[in-house]
Structure 1
Amino acid sequence: MAGVAASVERVKDRATGLDKFVLREARGSSVEVYLYGGQVTFWKNNFGHQLLFVSNKATFKPPKAIRGGIQICFPQLGSHGVLEQHGFARNRFWSVDESPPPFPVATSNCHIDLILKSSQEDLKIWPHSYEFRLRVALSPRGDLLLTSRIKNISSDGKPFQFTFAYHTYFSVSDISEVRVEGLETLDYLDNLQSKNRCTEQGDAVVFESEVDKVYLSAPKKIVIIDHEKKRTLVLRKEGLPDIVVWNPWDKKAKAMPDFGDDEYKNMLCVGAAAIEKPISLKSGEEWLGKQEISAVPSSYSSGQLDPEVIRRMHTI
């Protein structure tokens, strides 16, 4: 692949009829981003391995959200009031941002900028004027970076509040063999127990049944260790204090029409979020939140990550 330049191409998906962007890096990694939902659906590393999960039963037909990839949950996560489940950003058509503002750090030339603005339809259910800018970038070594910028552009001078999550569906070999490290000893809200506040007791998060938790004030970096694939996913976040962890398990999987009965075994949602303390923006103010994911080969023994994982964690 030496000498092959990175590229960003807009294409119409033959199967779905929807427009998407395909980002390709010189070493072989690639990302697909749909204008519908501003949603990343595929992320392949330099070895061609698909790192995100998309259900075989996912519908790519608006207004249904795409089941998998990285859903943009705004202006809320969950169901509250008249807003749709997980807000409306994930089932709206975004536009290409032709004049994005300067970003704090130019991480990669291989990126696409999208924008979502208040529509008359949305103002009826969420009466706040905003601009939501999203940059999806692919680094030369194949890391995936999402940067969100949300600005209050209201003319009435009123502030607004929102919650947010990058609802990230990872592809895993076997959910029972996966562990998440970095969340131990943290408090979490358990959505299966009426959002009761609990404290994580294990030395890692492991999965034996349905999980739907929001870990509070999580560290900037956590790792997802997939023993069978000998792969570690390193998630780094900024401006997003919380971490959402979800797996529907067997009973709930069977109840979802756009999710296979046994697919819960091969997926895990872990994503950066701001849930416990809503973000408040005054008129003219802007918020920025980032999530960066790296996939590195790893071995796991006696609770220690191998040196390559440690090196990558300190360099991203």
Structure 2
Amino acid sequence: MDRSNKPSPITASGTGPQPSVRVENGRANARLPTGDSVDVLLYGATVVSWKSNGKENLWVSEAAKLDGSKPVRGGIPVVFPCFGPPPKDHATGKLPQHGFGRNSNWEYLGSSSSESGSLARGGDDSIKLDFGLSHAQLSEEAKKQWPYAFGLVYSVTLGKDGLQTMLNVTNQGKEMFEFQMLLHSYFRVDDVTRCSVNGLGSTTYIDKVLDAKEHQQSTPELRITGEVDRVYKSIKQDTTSIVQDGKSRLDVQRDRLVDSVVWNPWIEKAKGMGDFEPKDGYKNMVCVEVGAVDGWQKLEPGETFEGGQILKSHL
């Protein structure tokens, strides 16, 4: 896709070790001198690995397809322009569940040293990878299902202090469109039964497991003791934390977004998913997914929406 401010390749800003980027075989890899790294598939612009201090922060199913044949089970898939099965009476009604963002081939737009922003302290400290998707790149089927002119730029910034993923949506057409977006992050934990998700106290949520009705989080922390599928709406706190054995494991900071989904399939649902392996893998993952999924975001011609997350690992 065309982009006037396409970033320049990384250039050395000093005599010490520099960040590196490698793009090959449908995958972009960035690495810092510290050894921290991130891997992003061009298919779906899906982050499939984020390592800090030599340890993996994301959970990816052993049966996940990484060849572009189907959306990845795990990592950080990009959900756009609808979350879940779309309403049949909506403009997205003909699209598959979660839309086309996670199963389209994105273009690699380039890399740049990131000297500004939440994770940067200088050119050697962080590196940003940009990926693009537009109407022209969609399959013919998807073009018919959702015929709006749009442009997406997905920026993945690896820093010493964490990982930032931001989605920029532009209406490039002549008519308004509505959309939802979600970053479907699967986080790796040692044992989900020893974890809690904090920062959701007093928040209203829709419980998709219980009755799809609204409830209010009555405790400051959420314990995972069975299947969980909740949409938390208009969260007041900026940060949701995964706490493991009483210690902070990972912080998820919403950036210009106020909704989050918490999901774990537990025993029976994991058994029923063909691409979920090992079947007891639910013990080692929990999804905390930032997004705009409570209703629809309206975007007029020429307007832009941007939202994402900043992840900080405490490994």
Q: Which bin holds the TM-score, normalised by the shorter protein?
A: 0.7 to 0.9
Pick one of 121, 127, 130 that aligns with 2:147.
127
Q: What amino acid sits opposite 1:33 in the alignment?
A: V
For residue 11 of structure 1, what is the aligned residue in structure 2? Answer: 24
1:194 to partner: Cα distance: 4.7
- In 1, the alpha carbon distance for the partners of 2:217 and 2:241 equals 16
Q: Does 1:164 align with 2:171?
A: no
Q: Does 1:149 align with 2:180?
A: no
Question: In terms of mean alpha carbon deviation, does 190-199 or 286-295 score higher?
Answer: 190-199
- In 1, the alpha carbon distance for the partners of 2:280 and 2:134 equals 37
Question: In terms of mean alpha carbon deviation, does 114-123 or 274-283 score higher?
Answer: 114-123
Is residue 123–residue 129 contact of structure 1 (8 Å, CA) maintained in 2?
no
Misfit runs of 4+, over 3 Å: 102-109
1:117 to partner: Cα distance: 0.6
Pick one of 193, 208, 216 that aligns with 1:199.
216
Q: Does 1:51 align with 2:68?
A: no
Is residue 178–residue 298 contact of structure 2 (8 Å, CA) maintained in 1?
yes
Is residue 8–residue 111 contact of structure 1 (8 Å, CA) maintained in 2?
no
Is residue 6–residue 26 contact of structure 1 (8 Å, CA) maintained in 2?
yes
1:111 to partner: Cα distance: 1.5
Pick one of 212, 216, 235 that aligns with 2:252.
235
Is residue 111–residue 128 contact of structure 2 (8 Å, CA) maintained in 1?
no
- Once the two structures are aligned, what percentage of the paired residues are identical? 33
- In 2, the alpha carbon distance for the partners of 1:269 and 1:106 equals 23
Is residue 108–residue 130 contact of structure 2 (8 Å, CA) maintained in 1?
yes
Gaps of 5+ in 1: 13-18, 298-316
For residue 29 of structure 1, what is the aligned residue in structure 2? Answer: 36
Q: How does 1:106-125 map to 2 (within 5 A)?
A: 107-108=119-120, 109-118=126-135, 119=138, 120-125=140-145
For residue 89 of structure 2, what is the aligned residue in structure 1? Answer: none
1:193 to partner: Cα distance: 3.6
1:4 to partner: Cα distance: 1.9
Deviations along 1:76-109, whole A, 9 cap, x unmatched?
Answer: 1101232111111101110022599x99848545
Pick one of 76, 79, 86 that aligns with 2:85.
79
Pick one of 210, 220, 239 that aligns with 1:221.
239
Normalised to the residue count of structure 1, the TM-score between the two structures is 0.85
Q: Does 1:95 align with 2:107?
A: yes
- In 2, the alpha carbon distance for the partners of 1:185 and 1:259 equals 32
For residue 66 of structure 2, what is the aligned residue in structure 1? Answer: 60
Equivalences, count: 284
- RMSD, aligned CA: 2.1
- In 2, the alpha carbon distance for the partners of 1:192 and 1:62 equals 30
Normalised to the residue count of structure 2, the TM-score between the two structures is 0.85
Q: Does 1:173 align with 2:193?
A: no
Gaps of 5+ in 2: 1-14, 87-92, 121-125
SS of the residue 1:135 aligns to: strand
Is residue 145–residue 292 contact of structure 1 (8 Å, CA) maintained in 2?
yes
